[in-house]
Structure 1
Amino acid sequence: MMKTVYRFLGALLIISACSEDLDQVPPNIASANSLTDFAGVLNAAYFYQHGSATPMAVMGDFRADNSLMAEEPYPEFDRFGSGLVLMEDQFFGPFYTALYKSILSANNVIDNSMDAAEIGEAKFLRALSYFKLVRVFGDVTVNLTAEPSVSDLSILVRQPVADVYNNVIIPDLQDAIGALGTSIVDGRASRYAAQGLLGKVYMQMGNFSSAETELAAVVNGATAAGITLQGNFADIFGEANDLNSEIIFATQISSSITDEYGFTEFPGWFSGGDTKSLTPLDADLIAAFDAVEAADGGNTDLRRALTIDETNNIGVKWGGLDQDWIELRLADVLLLYAEAMNENGSTPENALDVLDPIRTRAGLNPLDHTTLNTQALVRQAIYDERRVELAFEGHRWFDLVRTGTVDAEMGEAINSNYHVFPIPVSEVLASDGVITQNDGY
């Protein structure tokens, strides 16, 4: 298991770098010419995803209408102004640092390893890192080498989102698809992880045709690869269920390892374990479950009690601190696939049939194709299903931005400047302004 590997990373940190010094070669890295085994460097690239998990969870759900902050200044997550810069140390800084460390480690493997599978995994992790970065910050600095120039600060200039997608993320995932096998070994990246992430990337870009192709490949090949929906929703989450059959890729977490994020971890944020949000459940999520059940004739959605505790106003989907952070699971892929099919003009019946296994597991009936008989109605039904299925998994805010439904769902007109988050001020200052701040912050 990767978690066992992590326990030795204190001795294996071949790669280490401050995000403020992305143009430097880490002082404790062995010369690339002297290395022949890059397994430890690849493990570091996996490990550094740790530090991005909790910030991504908080940004995805607390920025949206699933979760609420209470203690100042943390309600800035709900105010859509410049105040989020006050949370740099707790969220945006660790997130930024962790992902650029993962990228630097991945670059070293890509540049120097002779193992095609190692390079494929590294390209997957680099693509995953940049995908997280562009969804959170928009334009970002791009570094695709293990040894960037120490004198050329121009490499820190933020690159347009479209260029990051087209020149980095998509090519990396295409290469990973070609290099990796379909089997998931010890939770490492597989071909279907790369293909599922590529489908997700295309959905983010609004390229529904390409998205459907990639997502269909995952859906159609899943069973043969041992990827199946869990029979019970409860069996997806918690440390005892890590790496279950529904998980296509997860960042494996070990609480015994210190990473860039040194505060309350994501299970604590959702369960009210931090004083900044003792009762984090947003009433709007309760209403979303109410609406799903009402539309199904009053049947109980089995996901409800496994996701929210309405008495204590907390989330209960996650348990202890050693459970993995799920990056991609089969239900997510199925929901995206149905959405892509609908956007590409599929019949309501064909698109909605994809959701039947998810709804059956939740104790609900298949959606009525005769009632939901237009593209717009099917679209909203998929959005509604996606919200309750994936609540507290860090998707909600990014889905709202992706689908252009921020204002409608949040109930206010929100300046698009605040669809992204602030670049850490420390990065702007350390680069002498070469790295610029997002508008509005």
Structure 2
Amino acid sequence: MKTKISIFILSGLLLSATLSSCKKDFLERPPLDQLSEATFWKNSNDVYQAVNAVYNQLPGDGIIYDDGASDNAYAQYPWESSATDVSAGTITSVTNAGWGFGNIRRANYFLANADKVVNMDPALLERYKAEVRFLRALFYFNMASNFGDVPFFTTVLKLGEENIKKSPKAEVLKFVTDELSAVALILPQTYAGGKPNEKGRITKGAALALKARVHLSENQWQLAADAATQVMGLGYSLFKVSEEQAIDVKDDYSHWVTFANADDEKKFRLGLRSYEALFHKANEGNMEVILDRQQIDQKDANFLNTYLLPGDIGGWSSVTPTQELVNSYESYKTGKAVSPVDPAQRAAWYTAKNPAFENEYKNRDPRFYATVLFENAPWNAIEDDYKFIWTEGASNMSKTGYNFRKLVDPKIYRDRVDNHANVILIRYAEILLTFAEAKNELSGPSSEVYDALDAIRTRAGMLPVDRTEYSSQASLRTLIRNERRIELAVEGNRYLDIRRWKIAPQVMKTINNIKNTQVQVRTWADKLYLMPVPQTEIDLSKGVLTQNTGY
């Protein structure tokens, strides 16, 4: 039976101890509900709990808001995240778009104190420290990706040392990749289970996968390809199912897809189910998962079922697909791009209830049906005979006319319990896409690039890449970027992708719903390549911190 990491928040740790009187005095014993350096760091269990307190800082269900800040999705509630203001281009220094160093301070504190424990297995302690070093590297990468130059420190700060000038982004990322290379030599490939070897802890694969992501973000193609190649040799594989669940068989896709024969329908359906099921609780920890945020059953719920589902089945429609994301899904029949319907024509068909309106959603990539709820989309797994119907203006309904079903766990919805499924942060499909992009940028199309893309596409039931159609570096670049968009939708990658590709000025445009009614005005300015440092932080630093350009 699999065991999870228990995540403890050691909020009671004190930075100093002041007890100084007679040890036998009952009144001067340390409070039993508090921790201090004098009473902590005594045994291996203290170290174990402190490591898990750093794991508690891993990102979770909030990754969906990264897509809400991009052209993939619309985040309709500005009080939930900064994504609404970021996507509109109206973000200012009044809003905190992710600035914070509590997670890094927590990691630094652990690394400064863990060696105090005596009589502990030195190899285990070294592994624990490697796990925390990875986490600190991840935290710094996320900060540098969003803000560019950031304060950099690896020690526990003393009073008076808290105001630190920014370090160049390149220096921070050099530290990150050096750390990831170092800890990859220490961390195991897998964990056997049981304390302190729970599945879900940081692995060698996670370190190398994050390293590949960092290098890709900086267009360091050879380094990204090398790191991805190392991960590809560690035994990960794409998750697949061999048969449908009985409840899923009830979904009638014959209206939406023109199947050539029974085998064609089976290929389509298994592709759809393989893609959607890899995120469900029943399949958590599968061989595609490289890093996930562990959620403790009955204690640590994620809110993906609430954030993503429409209001008619209890959701909030917090983050919803844009028409542009819908347009990006290719034809299931040809494997090529689909020409989008004219927005005015779509609106006219929808308003008139013309059957032609539904043609836009026919014969699309199986991942479309696994990702997007569109008008009359079937989904028996969520409720018997359920079909999505958009009700404009209704409580907690989408503003765009679409909802996400990807990342939602329908069994958990039916069971009427909180969603405790792990949130996947890095998976093997991303590594294959990183490898394909980096190798294509280095030397253009090759059999190994095509093979990496084909593995992802065929898992989803799609046709392999047409080698003739995509024979040039430029054409294959277009396909790779689109493949990355749809394969990793709502997983927290698109926001950075459109910035590193420098396509944000073209894609961050005003969005309309399926009735061609304006949903959100989006205005791009190049300052949006970086987020603003919160003005409150600049004020507290007494001028040591400086603002990013344009804010």
Q: The TM-score by the shorter chain falls in which range?
A: 0.7 to 0.9
Structure 1 distance, partners of 2:504, 2:69, is 11
Moved more, 268-277 or 405-414: 268-277
Q: Is 2:69 the partner of 1:68?
A: no
TM (norm. structure 1) is 0.83
Please name the residue that 1:288 is paired with. 328
**Contact 2:305/2:315 (8 A) holds in 1:** no
Structure 2 distance, partners of 1:205, 1:31, is 44
Q: For 1:28-47, list aligned pairs within 5 A.
A: 28-30=35-37, 34-37=41-44, 38-47=47-56
- Go from structure 1 to structure 2 and tell me whether the alpha carbon gap of 1:276 and 1:426 turns closer, same or farther (over 3 Å shift): farther
Moved more, 291-300 or 336-345: 291-300
Q: Is 2:471 the partner of 1:382?
A: no
3-state DSSP of counterpart to 1:179: coil
The alpha-carbon deviation at position 408 of structure 1 amounts to 2.8
- Go from structure 1 to structure 2 and tell me whether the alpha carbon gap of 1:332 and 1:149 turns closer, same or farther (over 3 Å shift): same
Please name the residue that 1:270 is paired with. 308
Q: 1:308 aligns with which of 369, 372, 378?
A: 372
- Go from structure 1 to structure 2 and tell me whether the alpha carbon gap of 1:201 and 1:4 turns closer, same or farther (over 3 Å shift): closer
Specify the code of the residue in structure 2 equivalent to 1:43: N
**Contact 1:69/1:280 (8 A) holds in 2:** yes
Specify the code of the residue in structure 2 equivalent to 1:103: A
Q: For 1:19-30, list aligned pairs within 5 A.
A: 28-30=35-37
Q: 2:421 aligns with which of 318, 323, 331?
A: 323
The alpha-carbon deviation at position 435 of structure 1 amounts to 3.0
**Contact 2:190/2:199 (8 A) holds in 1:** no
Specify the code of the residue in structure 2 equivalent to 1:375: Q
Please name the residue that 2:220 is paired with. 207
The alpha-carbon deviation at position 30 of structure 1 amounts to 1.5
Q: Is 2:139 the partner of 1:129?
A: yes
Specify the code of the residue in structure 1 equivalent to 2:157: P
**Contact 2:280/2:421 (8 A) holds in 1:** yes
Q: Deviations over 1:5-25 (max 9, x none)?
A: 12xx25x556589xxxxxxxx
Q: 2:60 aligns with which of 28, 53, 56?
A: 53
Q: 1:92 aligns with which of 90, 93, 98?
A: 98
Instruction: Give the root-mean-square deviation of aligned CA atoms.
Output: 3.1
The alpha-carbon deviation at position 108 of structure 1 amounts to 3.7
Q: Deviations over 1:149-196 (max 9, x none)?
A: 222244x22221111011x20121011111111114511111111011
Structure 2 distance, partners of 1:121, 1:303, is 34
3-state DSSP of counterpart to 1:289: coil
Query: Mind listing any 5+ residue stretches in structure 1 that lack a counterpart?
Result: 18-26
* Structure with the bigger percentage of helix: 1
Q: For 1:49-198, list aligned pairs within 5 A.
A: 49=58, 52-58=59-65, 60-71=66-77, 75-83=84-92, 85-86=94-95, 88=96, 92=98, 96=100, 99-108=103-112, 114=122, 115-145=125-155, 147-154=156-163, 156-166=164-174, 168-184=175-191, 185-198=198-211
Specify the code of the residue in structure 2 equivalent to 1:177: A
3-state DSSP of counterpart to 2:185: helix
Specify the code of the residue in structure 1 equivalent to 2:548: N
Structure 2 distance, partners of 1:268, 1:440, is 36
**Contact 2:63/2:490 (8 A) holds in 1:** no
Q: Is 2:438 the partner of 1:336?
A: no
- Go from structure 1 to structure 2 and tell me whether the alpha carbon gap of 1:13 and 1:239 turns closer, same or farther (over 3 Å shift): farther
**Contact 1:187/1:249 (8 A) holds in 2:** yes
Q: Is 2:232 the partner of 1:219?
A: yes
3-state DSSP of counterpart to 1:68: strand
**Contact 1:407/1:414 (8 A) holds in 2:** yes
Q: How many residues align?
A: 410
TM (norm. structure 2) is 0.67
Structure 2 distance, partners of 1:121, 1:294, is 45
**Contact 1:5/1:43 (8 A) holds in 2:** yes
Structure 2 distance, partners of 1:119, 1:203, is 26
**Contact 2:331/2:365 (8 A) holds in 1:** no
**Contact 1:249/1:329 (8 A) holds in 2:** yes
Please name the residue that 2:492 is paired with. 394
3-state DSSP of counterpart to 1:30: coil
